Chain A
């Protein structure tokens, strides 16, 4: 286990090492067609207050009804993260007055969350870019389902409320206080995001508020079991703000201790633009949410068949895929890192690898050429005209020696533009290696060997690489269109007889 420690230059003789303890509360908006307790559509970027109905607006007499797709999604998230799915879960009202909350209570889960335990696998930075870092499982406390609130837009003299976001299904993923550095928190959030996107649970676009994060941070002397006083840091609105904000808060707490002060339990607001934070409220000012079971919603029992159906829909997660790619396809770490974080890309790779039987070559084409072209064209992988079958066919042409590397690059570019099959492009543009007359090739090989006695002697003395010296003149004679594999074979056959 990695634990990052911070040394505080002490005013006294001895210097104490402190360690940070971090727990994250991550809110993930669930991607469902409609809102969590009513049929009105969920969405982002619509005309303000257009995604509303009596239920969303909390009009007199309106009642919530659970959206089963949202339940499916959170159970799936729980299964992906190894949580225990509660056999029965219930819904509670979390009560506080704020204009973004139309009912002045939020339907949430208090003491019987739907997912308990579980963990998030993270990877810490390796010693170098091409070296895999240490892996670690961050234990989860719980995941629960709740409804999102509306959005306030503050003007100079008044505030406007947009309830479009209100009622969007939201899950809160709560970790144990088990992280010890901003890097770990960063890796944790990255892993959660990948998992949710993989599971089709959320798009996790932080700019659209689909992934939001609050951090509970404390410090304690290394070796001390008891947790220090925690500070909750809010508004960590991008993944880099999470890292910067936590880093900032750890330093702030160390500085307080260093000055001989004590940490106050409070909620602080982090401003990512200025890299500063300020106190929002202290423990004494904390809300009493007066949770109680929502009498409008019945408890939900999740049976084995329901879980099994969702379990069957759970995809392999990125780290598991990465281990499999390394084991099954003998891919290097860096290449797997490129392939596994995007589920569509990983699937694309596997399909092309299976079709061609050449995973390494396919991986290289994807990492070096396909991603570059997609980036230039600013398109999604799904709309690339180069499908796995195209790429597999191209790899096979190169492997068979039918086209040479330089020609293959040209074929790829055209294939990307037109979607034509590589064979057809090679044919049309005369990019195939010349169909060589074997007698002619053999004669060029004999000539080349005869012209280089030194290399012949070296080869006979056991230096295998000396054979390369014969290849240049042969290719020259063939005007570059000879099949290199055939040249190699022919040379070896002739040399063996000498």
Chain B
């Protein structure tokens, strides 16, 4: 049985588009129709501009007819997390603060996707300013997990993961600061890649924690993720932290890199709190790699226990500063109650930000305060160096690391009301951001209650080609991504 268009992979759709079996308008229309059908239940979108998407699709068809197609993404509907700027489209960060903000410019990744011919459809829901692990912190209401509508899709890029799982996009972009791509990918049964810090330009990405944020793709297959990564990666002179490195043809490299790999299993990532079903699924993945001829070795990342604390000092410090610009003076929410300028700041920010954002701003402001800076921020930076060193030490003896993506599968909406319990969802993903490494989550099974499980593979800096090949080796031996939620 052939899958409906909206559930197919980029590679499959690109072949049909190239063969002129389908048109981009047809494909986009199918995705729009699917979105209309599922959105009332999933709510993965903050907004969508169907007319513009269809116009882009029509332009793609014109290019193809003229023999000027831009490549595999030409005509493919891709959704962007609502923290990535698209010219003349809303850019809300799922916050009341930016509810009416329209971006006057394109993010670099947006420009690159446009240049690749992609059809940009929809602004995808997320936790407010990308702060959260469930997408429940959105000012516009939570997104539901397509596999179980009573459950969260993960976060902060929950809309990006859910839209893809639901068939409302063929691929999506999210951003990952502490696991915000990989954790929702694992919750929604899709592939999610967080590239090495500096590989993808952050210009036009609403900053949460600048030294940790990284844009990356959600896709149905590893090959699709490689295609999208190839389109968005590369040095950008508008982002000083973007790295000058040659970008390989990730898709072509998949065939070229065949291992066997030496895979490290960090013992600290299999401790208390790990759901037994997830533990078992990951063990099976380890056994699979062993069968492939990979060398499996236990390694230690001794500073793992400090990751969460370190993250919540550095990320909140940067966030408190990055979010200072939302003050109601020139754009964004301005309180109608304000009597003077100080009042304007207080009221606008009190009304515009949600509870989790306020919590992190307060925490970040505190750790940067005079007299506390050395004890918190400076020390956290030192620990961060140690955490990175842990990974680099491990890479002396292994090519990649293998862990669960999340200790638990998708939980119920409203289940985690304690912020600390929520923060613990990210214990396996945060270290990667602190170390600036690339990591991917690929589907590796389902729980008895039919909830997806994710396997995390962590690579070496700028070695995405190796990481993708390693992930694809697993994917080829399994058919987890052939399963789709029953919506």
Contact = CB atoms under 8 A, between A and B. Distances in A.
A95 interface: yes
Most buried by B among A64, A103, A159: A103
B375 to A, nearest CB: 14
A151 to B, nearest CB: 14
Contact of A104 (B85, B91, B325): B325
Interface stretch (B302-310, B365-373, B404-412): B365-373
A330 interface: no
Interface string A436-451: 0000000000000000
A63 B200 CA distance: 14
Interface in B194-221: 202-207, 209-211
A297 B240 contact: yes
B224 interface: no
B106 to A, nearest CB: 10
B388 to A, nearest CB: 15
B317 interface: yes
Given A59-B104, A290-B365, A102 B325 contact: yes
A63 B325 contact: no
Most buried by B among A66, A291, A295, A297: A295
Q: How large is the interface on B (under 10, 10 to 19, 20 to 34, 35 or more residues)?
A: 35 or more
B12 interface: no
A105 B206 contact: no
A62 B210 CA distance: 11
A57 B370 contact: no
B370 A61 contact: no
B321 A95 contact: yes
A60 B91 contact: yes
Q: How large is the interface on A (under 10, 10 to 19, 20 to 34, 35 or more residues)?
A: 20 to 34
Contact of A298 (B202, B241, B321): B241
A93 interface: yes
Interface string B75-89: 000000001110000
A357 interface: no
B127 interface: no
A324 B317 CA distance: 55
B325 A66 contact: no
A59 B326 CA distance: 9
Interface in A243-278: none
Interface of B is mostly: loop
A99 interface: yes
A63 B329 contact: no
A97 B327 contact: yes
A105 B202 contact: no
A91 B21 CA distance: 55
A61 B205 contact: yes
Interface in A24-72: 54, 57-66
Given A292-B368, A295-B318, A63 B324 contact: no
Given A288-B370, A295-B318, A95 B330 contact: no
B446 interface: no
B343 to A, nearest CB: 12
A281 to B, nearest CB: 14
Contacts of B203: 61-63
Interface in B354-381: 365, 368-370, 373, 377
A17 to B, nearest CB: 37
Given A63-B203, A288-B370, 13 more contacts: A60-B206, A60-B325, A61-B85, A61-B203, A61-B207, A99-B327, A103-B324, A104-B327, A105-B321, A290-B320, A295-B210, A295-B241, A295-B318
Interface of A: 54, 57-66, 93, 95, 97, 99, 102-105, 159, 161, 288, 290-292, 295-298
